[in-house]
Amino acid sequence: MEHFIVLAFKNVFRQKKRSFTLGVNYAVVAFILVLLMAFSHGASVNIADSLVKATAGHITITGQFAKGGKIYNGLSRTPDIVSAVTDTYGDAKVLVRYLVRSTLYFNGLSKRLSFTGIDTGKDPTFQDQAVFKNPASDGSWSGFAQDPNGVLMPQDTANYFGLKLGDQVVLSTRTRFGAFNTGILTVRGIYTTDNYFAKDLVLTHFDFLRNLDLADPTASTAVYVYFPRVENLSAKRDNIDRALKAKGFDVAVPASDTEAIAAVSAASPKYETDKEGRDRVMLKVATLDEVLGLVRTILAAVNAVGALISLVMLFIIAVSIFINLKMNINERLMEIGTMRALGVEGWRVTVLFILESVSLALVFSILGGLLAVGASALIRIGPTFPPGGNLGIFLQKGHLMLLPTLGSFISVILVIGLFAALFSFFPARKGGAIPPVAALTKTF
Amino acid sequence: MEVPMRVNVSKIEKTAVFFLSLMVGILSPLGAQQSSVTSSDPGAVKIVRNYEDKLNLVGFDITNTFTLIQKKSGEADRVLQIKIYRRDSADTFTLIFQYPNSEKGKGYYRNKDDLFLYLPSTREFVYRNRKDDVGSTDVRTDLFGKASAETQYYLNLAGTATVAKWECDVVRYDAKQLDVSYPIQKWYIRRTDGLPVKVENFSASGTLLRTTYYVDYQQVAPNKYIFTKLLGVDALEKGQQTFLTNEGISTAKIPNYVFSKAFLEEQSR
């Protein structure tokens, strides 16, 4: 059989022009598919990384609590939640946040914004990401950390209001109980970040937002849990669920990806009437995989579109394979007749033609795939895109993250090879079935 | 820091205190989270009961048309016209937008605590908070119905003041619980007829959020009044105010069918 393989490889380039034309098609399909999968994988890795550095943990705990016949959004008994996690996983890092959507008023302008309350002493998540271009005019992290009524404004928001360092802004929000409350914040920093999920967050202090929301001292809106290793998040979540239940919490997992996304983006507590009539804290414990589920669904849709384009191209290739092989067989009738006259069975002739076709597909799809790997590397280090643009969610430090994997590379080559084998089988079988006499007399 | 209001002051002092109150309210960070007031002043309760009784139209069916002109600095005036049917005895009302054409057919239907916004474009009813703003203006859907401040607020006298030409008693409202929109309010009740002429709404931290001026009233029955002109001024959004006129007031019996979702749907066709 190895002779057949060697022969098949040699035969690939007997009709250089024809083989090259077909081969380029294989290469283009492989290029598109490898690039798409690199985009998909890169986007998934990048979004997970950015999300974890902004508004999600490896495990995110959000929820509601019922008290006095009313259900409030947000968490109560936060210290108990934190201790349930740390008792279960001593090496886990736990961050507590307070998220509020509130209207900001300044200089005759107003806008509803998402405020993220952090404990600057314990939560360094944003410290390394926030860039203050000019400390004299844009402030600093330490200036913000030292002022309990300080706020860090994203550059775009600061530009909208015309804010500068030291300006005081008014916040007005309907609290979780229904009453309006207001507060004053002093701008202690104007920052930019290349993290898509952090770029619009107005950062302020946890206690400030909790007080603004008129919430009790054990209240928060989200608890983020980070592990040194990200494996087996579902199992870790199950263990945390058990610990939380043991402390008297009602625990549930998100019913869908959408619910998981909602869990990490929950803000602006409000209340509704409790029909159960039992004071309780209801927690929703979501893993990062669940939060990213929706992203993966979107990326799968992007991949599906790419796959559809590739499929159309592959069918064009299928027709080309068919015609190409037919022409090949017609041109090589003498060769087929000779092989058959020498005693080569018909199925071996069929295999030879299939091997030729598959060899052509493999050579060019590998080339196309390698080209895609090279292009991915170039794009990764090459052009810088604006973080606020349409591509923002896929960018890391302004670069589009295309991360091809060996698995995706091999699977693309295999699929194209199998495809070539499948569509060359029928004409090849016909070639193999030609009687030697008919082939030698070219009467077929 | 709380808004200092329990004082009898001269006109100049009053103005100073008022602006000081505003400044303190606006500039203080989170000050008074919840009022320390825990009781009501019988004198204030009497004043409030008196005007609530005059404005209480339970037992009447009221049909009227609101015209709202919303002014926002830097923007063109926004005009809304709304036909209103209310039956306070059943704690129900129906509002139908008549102008502008883009809003025509939209409406609210409230039945006790359930408030629905009808959107003719999609022909759907959206469940809303009964404290919703009407058409994003400073006028709210809990404007109607039987008021009962006593159940939700501690009421105390906070001096006197002159609003326009009227001498007024000032009653300070402090919420008993924080489930009301405005935990602190100041109502200015004129002494001539006991009707409110001005209301200031404060946030929990004591910041003035909006001021409502009841400019004029119409008597609809003996000792029963309904406002005919109202001005709402947003204190945080400088330059934003809503002027409301109340016309075509009638106390004729309204068919029951008017207080239904079906009526709203029918009117939008």
**ipTM of the complex as predicted:** 0.71
At B8 the pLDDT is 33
Instruction: Name every residue in B having a CB less than 8 A away from some CB of A.
Output: 25-30, 33-34, 73-74, 131, 175, 177-183, 201, 203-205, 207, 209, 236-239
pLDDT, one tens digit per residue, over B172-182 is: 999 998 878 89
Pairwise pLDDT comparison (B179 vs B251), residue with the higher score: B251
Pairwise pLDDT comparison (B209 vs A1), residue with the higher score: B209
* Contact assessment for residue A194 and residue A145, using Cβ atoms and an 8 Å cutoff: no
pLDDT, one tens digit per residue, over A159-205 is: 999 999 999 999 998 888 888 899 999 999 999 988 888 888 999 99
Kindly identify which residue of chain A lies nearest to residue B30, measuring between CA atoms. Answer: A183
Confidence tier at A241 by pLDDT (50, 70, 90): very high
Least confident of A17-21, A137-141, A387-391, A428-432: A387-391
Q: Does A179 contact B183 at a Cβ distance shorter than 8 Å?
A: yes
At B112 the pLDDT is 79
Containing structural domain, residue B131? 9-267
Pairwise pLDDT comparison (A336 vs A251), residue with the higher score: A251
Confidence tier at A19 by pLDDT (50, 70, 90): confident
At B140 the pLDDT is 54
d(CA A440, CA A340): 9
Chain B residues touching A178 at Cβ < 8 A: 131, 178-181
At B10 the pLDDT is 33
Least confident of A190-204, B45-59, B83-97, B124-138: B124-138
Chain B residues touching A149 at Cβ < 8 A: 29
d(CA A162, CA A172): 19
> A413: which 2 tokens?
């080559």
Residues 6 or more apart in contact with residue A285 via CB below 8 angstroms? A59, A60, A61, A237, A240, A241, A244, A251, A252, A253
Chain A residues touching B29 at Cβ < 8 A: 149, 183-185, 208
Cβ of residue A381 closer than 8 Å to a chain B Cβ: no
Q: Does B237 contact A168 at a Cβ distance shorter than 8 Å?
A: no
Confidence tier at A17 by pLDDT (50, 70, 90): confident
Stated length of chain A? 444
pLDDT, one tens digit per residue, over A49-65 is: 888 888 889 999 988 88
Q: Does A179 contact B205 at a Cβ distance shorter than 8 Å?
A: no
Q: Does B29 contact A149 at a Cβ distance shorter than 8 Å?
A: yes
Q: Does A184 contact B28 at a Cβ distance shorter than 8 Å?
A: yes
- B75 in a domain, yes or no? yes
C-alpha A236: how far from chain center: 22
Residue A224 clears pLDDT 80, i.e. is over it: yes
Residues 6 or more apart in contact with residue A435 via CB below 8 angstroms? A340
Name the amino acid, one letter, at B211: T
Residues 6 or more apart in contact with residue A124 via CB below 8 angstroms? none
Helix runs in chain B, H state only: 11-27, 42-55, 149-152, 261-267
* Contact assessment for residue A111 and residue A234, using Cβ atoms and an 8 Å cutoff: no
Residue B38 clears pLDDT 70, i.e. is over it: yes
Confidence tier at B22 by pLDDT (50, 70, 90): very low
> B198: which 2 tokens?
């001005």
Residue A108 clears pLDDT 60, i.e. is over it: yes
Cβ of residue A129 closer than 8 Å to a chain B Cβ: no
* Mean pLDDT score of chain A: 86
Cβ of residue A175 closer than 8 Å to a chain B Cβ: yes
At A414 the pLDDT is 94
* Mean pLDDT score of chain B: 81
pLDDT, one tens digit per residue, over A358-390 is: 999 999 999 999 999 999 999 988 888 876 666
Cα dihedral A232/A234/A237/A238 (nearest 10): -110
Residues 6 or more apart in contact with residue B94 via CB below 8 angstroms? B84, B85, B86, B107, B108, B109, B110, B258, B259, B260, B263, B264
At B147 the pLDDT is 64
Residue A444 clears pLDDT 60, i.e. is over it: no
Q: Which one-letter DSSP state was computed for residue B29?
A: S
Residues 6 or more apart in contact with residue A153 via CB below 8 angstroms? A161, A163, A187, A189, A190, A191, A202
Q: Does A179 contact B26 at a Cβ distance shorter than 8 Å?
A: no
Angle between the A406-432 and A288-331 helix axes, to the nearest 10 degrees? 30
Residues 6 or more apart in contact with residue A89 via CB below 8 angstroms? A225, A227, A236, A239, A240
Q: Does A110 contact B237 at a Cβ distance shorter than 8 Å?
A: yes
* Contact assessment for residue A394 and residue A195, using Cβ atoms and an 8 Å cutoff: no
At B53 the pLDDT is 92
Helix runs in A247-332, H state only: 257-265, 288-331
How close does chain B come to A216, measured CA to CA in Å? 11
Choose the mutation target among A105, A110, A111, A181 for the interface with B, i.e. most B CBs under 10 Å: A181
Confidence tier at A310 by pLDDT (50, 70, 90): confident
> A139: which 2 tokens?
């402030």
Residues 6 or more apart in contact with residue B36 via CB below 8 angstroms? none
Helix runs in A332-345, H state only: 333-341
Least confident of A207-211, B41-45, B50-54, B125-129: B125-129
d(CA A163, CA A369): 50
What is the pairing mode between strands A395-396 and A271-273? Answer: unpaired
Confidence tier at B27 by pLDDT (50, 70, 90): very low
* Contact assessment for residue A209 and residue A225, using Cβ atoms and an 8 Å cutoff: no
Q: Does B33 contact A214 at a Cβ distance shorter than 8 Å?
A: yes
- Quickly tell me which residue has 């049909």 as its tokens: B63
H/E stretch holding A242 reads: helix A233-246
Choose the mutation target among A180, A205, A208, A270 for the interface with B, i.e. most B CBs under 10 Å: A180
Task: Give the angle subtended at the CA of A211 by the CAs of A207 and A217, to the nearest 5°.
Answer: 70
Where are chain A's structural domains? 2-50+294-441, 56-289
How close does chain B come to A30, measured CA to CA in Å? 46
What is the pairing mode between strands A180-191 and A168-174? Answer: antiparallel
Give, in order, the Cα–Cα distances in Å from A29 to each of A40, A357, A362, A404, B255: 16, 16, 12, 15, 71
Stated length of chain B? 269
| Range A342-370 average pLDDT | 89
> How many other C-beta atoms can be found within 10 angstroms of the C-beta atom of residue A405?
15
Helix runs in A53-132, H state only: 78-88
d(CA A412, CA A392): 28
Residue B70 clears pLDDT 80, i.e. is over it: yes
* Contact assessment for residue B94 and residue B108, using Cβ atoms and an 8 Å cutoff: yes
How close does chain B come to A280, measured CA to CA in Å? 20
d(CA A102, CA B132): 17
Give, in order, the Cα–Cα distances in Å from B111 to each of A8, A114, A193, B20, B247: 82, 33, 49, 42, 24
Sign of CA dihedral A111, A113, A117, A120: negative
Residue B30 clears pLDDT 50, i.e. is over it: no
What is the rounded radius of gyration, in angstroms, for the C-alpha atoms of chain A? 31
At B124 the pLDDT is 87
Pairwise pLDDT comparison (A426 vs B148), residue with the higher score: A426
Angle between the A406-432 and A16-52 helix axes, to the nearest 10 degrees? 150
- Quickly tell me which residue has 């502008």 as its tokens: B100
- CATH code of the domain covering residue B136: 2.50.20.10
Chain B residues touching A213 at Cβ < 8 A: none
How close does chain B come to A62, measured CA to CA in Å? 23
At B146 the pLDDT is 59
Confidence tier at A262 by pLDDT (50, 70, 90): low
Least confident of A4-18, A36-50, A321-335: A4-18
**pTM of full prediction above 0.90:** no
Kindly identify which residue of chain A lies nearest to residue B201, measuring between CA atoms. Answer: A180
Residues 6 or more apart in contact with residue A338 via CB below 8 angstroms? A440
d(CA B137, CA A144): 36
At A207 the pLDDT is 95
Over pLDDT 90: what percentage of chain B?
Answer: 49
Choose the mutation target among B21, B22, B30 for the interface with A, i.e. most A CBs under 10 Å: B30
Name the amino acid, one letter, at B233: V
| Range A261-265 average pLDDT | 60
CA-nearest of A94, A102, A100 to A78 is A94
**How many domains are there within chain B?**
1
- B2 in a domain, yes or no? no
Residue burial A50-83, b: 16+ Cβ < 10 Å; e: rest: bbbbbbbbbbbbbbbbbeeeebbbbbbbbebbbe
At A194 the pLDDT is 84
CA-nearest of B244, B263, B212 to B135 is B244
> A35: which 2 tokens?
């690039």
pLDDT, one tens digit per residue, over A389-442 is: 667 778 887 888 899 999 989 999 999 999 889 888 888 888 888 888 887 887
